[in-house]
Copies of this chain bind each other. A is one copy, B any other.
């Protein structure tokens, strides 16, 4: 009771500070009339992925469904408001941030990085810790994204580097910094039959709308290819994840964790090169690799990381976002190295802006006889562009790890408040829950029935150290 208002204060203050900053900085971007019809459908698809997709994907824990879907909701709604500002500060116009539907898409992308990190630490952190983490992460995300896109000029249509690699390794670093010396009670870290079905709602909406995610912020032919490539990569990844799951599982059965998560790795792994000339067979190949890598990650790598480093990863974001994101960065660099004007035509310079001819050159004049308004570039070669793609991947990884470790140390401070060792993965610590909340050791209602009161109202499990 004495500490809990801290959470209210931080959340409420954050919202009020955002209000003030919006008053000072944010105005409408001029509505180009067509943009609403061009962007709105894909924006809504991405919005579904953030709130329904990721929210429900994390409901697989039998006693942590409220927190999964609820904290994802809170953290996302705060992060996107803050991301509008944090990203906007890098492209201000006369001291104002012009906001339109592409800004909202950009903010949703930034939010995805935060909720990927959430997946690494959920169940072991308080809402206050998550809020503080989000505020720091968004700032760092915006800086890294700006650096990668504007200084390194590395492209990343589906955000596999700037969003997935960043979010995953930031979250894993936070989780590492927050690891407990003593042994918390992990007995609640288990699914039950229906929680696995709720999680599949998240999986399927993510899977279905991923083509929109990878295509939302590119245009023209690039957008067309991004939809097609993502469709094939995901399909091949899904089939592969089933196959490999049955290969590695006991008794050749399928494992729900793989089906919920590894089926999606193809969307991540194709992200950077989604709009490039990957061709459908290339997309299928990426999907096969991603599905295999992700199931192997869940089966062998994640337990090893926990054993060796005490690195705990609640949702296995390393297997869904981390490794497949790195794969995406490598595929992107490879495709960049192979990209030629012969294959792409003049659109090469739209695909890789840094490859465009430099200012005041006759080459630029020639190209602009076709493209009209091409911005001058750095006249990069294919290999040089590939090199910059790799540098962007490396920088993103390093910034995420260092930023995550520092954030994690901050969050581990005593005064910040911690989830008690015996309340891991337990909604009842933060939520008013009905008495039938599944109990550890026995699924479903049987456990609840055993402790049921005659009063059908809420049985609030009081917890003296409760902290929002």
Binding site for B on A (CB under 8 A): 1, 4-5, 7-8, 11-12, 14-16, 18-19, 22-23, 26-28, 31, 33, 35-38, 40-45, 47-48, 51-52, 55-56, 59, 62, 65-66, 69-70, 73-74, 77-78, 80-81, 84, 99-101, 104, 127, 187-188, 190-194, 196-198, 200-201, 204-205, 207-209, 211-212, 215, 220-221, 223-225, 227-228, 231-232, 234-236, 238-240, 242-244, 246-247, 249-256, 259, 263, 279-281, 284-285, 288, 430-438, 440-449, 452, 454, 456-458, 460, 462-463, 466-468
Which residues of chain B have C-beta atoms less than 8 A from A467's C-beta?
A: 252
- Cα distance A42–B38 in the bound complex, in angstroms: 12
Which residues of chain B have C-beta atoms less than 8 A from A4's C-beta?
A: 246, 251-252
Which residues of chain B have C-beta atoms less than 8 A from A200's C-beta?
A: 55, 69-70
Q: B456 touching A440 by the CB < 8 A rule?
A: yes
Q: B44 touching A41 by the CB < 8 A rule?
A: yes
Q: A104-B228, A444-B444 are in contact. List 9 more A-B contacts (CB 8 A).
A: A11-B242, A40-B215, A66-B259, A77-B239, A187-B456, A255-B431, A442-B448, A444-B446, A447-B449
For residue A35, which residue of chain B has the nearest CB?
B224
For residue A79, which residue of chain B has the nearest CB?
B235
Q: B436 touching A104 by the CB < 8 A rule?
A: no
Interface of A is mostly: helix
Copies of the protein in its oligomer: 3
Q: B196 touching A434 by the CB < 8 A rule?
A: yes
Which residues of chain B have C-beta atoms less than 8 A from A192's C-beta?
A: 434, 436, 445
